[in-house]
Structure 1
Amino acid sequence: MVLISTTVLLAEGAGGDGLGINAVAFLSQLVSFGIVFFLLWKWGFPAILKTMDKRAEVIREGIENAERAKKDLAAANERAEVILNDARRQAQETIERAAKVAQQEANRIREEAEAQAERINQQGIARIQQEVNRARTELSRQVVNLSIEAAEKVIKRSVSVDSKANRRLVEDFVASTDKTRNN
């Protein structure tokens, strides 16, 4: 406040008209302002405008790059989703194929096991049949031997003993033959 009033008093005291404006000071300030304005307009403003234009270009490029990056990211996300879905589908197909192959292999192994069990069963039946045939042959041989022995005994006793003893001897022979067959 004091400074303004001092400036006004000096302006009135330096000789001026009734408004209190010193014409010489005003003109010198106006010329100084014009020179500064001209210098700024000639060299300062173009440099400032050039810097502002560069900065605006950098900002514009940054925005464009950001938009491009956003689009690229969206496209990459879509591609990733497609690849992920494809990988899931392939994994599911692989799992299904593996399950099918495993089931086929299990069926094949089961069929082979059943066939082998059947072969073993048939071999066992064949061995049993061979044993039965061998036992029958052995039994027949024993029956023949026993018959021969019984006949020898009958002949020896028939010469020396009565017919009741012969009958008993034949009955004993038949009973022993039946016991042998049952065992």
Structure 2
Amino acid sequence: MITAASLLAAPKEETFNPLLPDLGELIFGGVAFIVVLLVVGKLLTPRIQKTLEDRADAIEGGLKRAEDAQAEAQRTLAQYREQLAEARHEAARLREEAREQGAQIKAELREEAQAEARRLIEAAHAQIEADRQQAMSQLRGEIGRLSTDLASRIVGESLEDEARQRRIVDRFLDELESSNTQAVR
């Protein structure tokens, strides 16, 4: 057992102070720190710096590309809107042309129909006049024959001479027509 006297009689050992490190450890730690600092400063810092610059360039380049893409999209949109306006204008012009052509065709068809109607009316009038003339000549012939028969019966003589018969019939019809025109007036 250790007695208090033995403790007092023992040589005094250095007391350990945890706040003051051993000088050898302090030197070794300082040299190791300087080596690590130099390695990090000379080798790793430029690489880290280059990586950070590359990343910053990539970000700035991405932003620049995004701005360029947005500007290109705006130009494309403006072109699209311009083309759309031109297409609308062209469509309106084509509609107007079609409307004008339709009106022109309609007018031409109307004129053709009216000309055809006039032609048909004139043909009908001509046919009616021809039919009237034919009916008049047939009627004259029939009236002439009937009147000569009647005159033969009244006179009691035969009026078979055809030239004479025609003169009598023509004179009779002329007198009849003149009396009708005077009665109409």
Query: Following superposition of structure 1 onto structure 2, how do residues 1-183 of structure 1 map, counting pairs within 5 Å?
Result: 19-156=19-156
Aligned residues: 146
Assess, with a 3 A threshold, how the Cα gap between structure 1 residues 108 and 117 changes in structure 2: closer, same or farther.
same
Which runs of 5 or more structure 2 residues have no equivalent in the other structure?
1-12, 158-185
Counterpart amino acid of residue 55 in structure 1: R
How far does the alpha carbon of each residue in 1:89-144 deviate from its partner, in whole angstroms, 9 at most, with x for none? 01000101111101110110111011101100110111011111111111111111
- Measured after TM superposition, the shift of residue 59 of structure 1 is 1.1
Counterpart amino acid of residue 94 in structure 1: L
Assess, with a 3 A threshold, how the Cα gap between structure 1 residues 18 and 43 changes in structure 2: closer, same or farther.
closer
Which of structure 1's runs of 4+ aligned residues deviate more than 4 A?
13-18
Assess, with a 3 A threshold, how the Cα gap between structure 1 residues 133 and 22 changes in structure 2: closer, same or farther.
same
Assess, with a 3 A threshold, how the Cα gap between structure 1 residues 100 and 26 changes in structure 2: closer, same or farther.
same
Q: Distance in 2 between matches of 1:15 and 1:75?
A: 83
Counterpart amino acid of residue 36 in structure 2: V
Counterpart amino acid of residue 40 in structure 1: V
- Measured after TM superposition, the shift of residue 85 of structure 1 is 0.4
Assess, with a 3 A threshold, how the Cα gap between structure 1 residues 92 and 14 changes in structure 2: closer, same or farther.
farther
How far does the alpha carbon of each residue in 1:31-72 deviate from its partner, in whole angstroms, 9 at most, with x for none? 212111101111111111111111111111111000011111
> Which TM-score applies when normalising by structure 1?
0.73
Assess, with a 3 A threshold, how the Cα gap between structure 1 residues 39 and 18 changes in structure 2: closer, same or farther.
closer
Higher helix share: 1
Q: Distance in 2 between matches of 1:116 and 1:82?
A: 50
Counterpart amino acid of residue 141 in structure 2: R
Residue identity over aligned pairs, in percent, reads: 26
SS of 2:19 mapped into structure 1? coil
Stretch moving more, 130-139 or 27-36 = 27-36
Q: Distance in 2 between matches of 1:54 and 1:125?
A: 103
User: Which structure has the higher relative contact order (CA within 8 Å, separation 6+)?
Assistant: 2
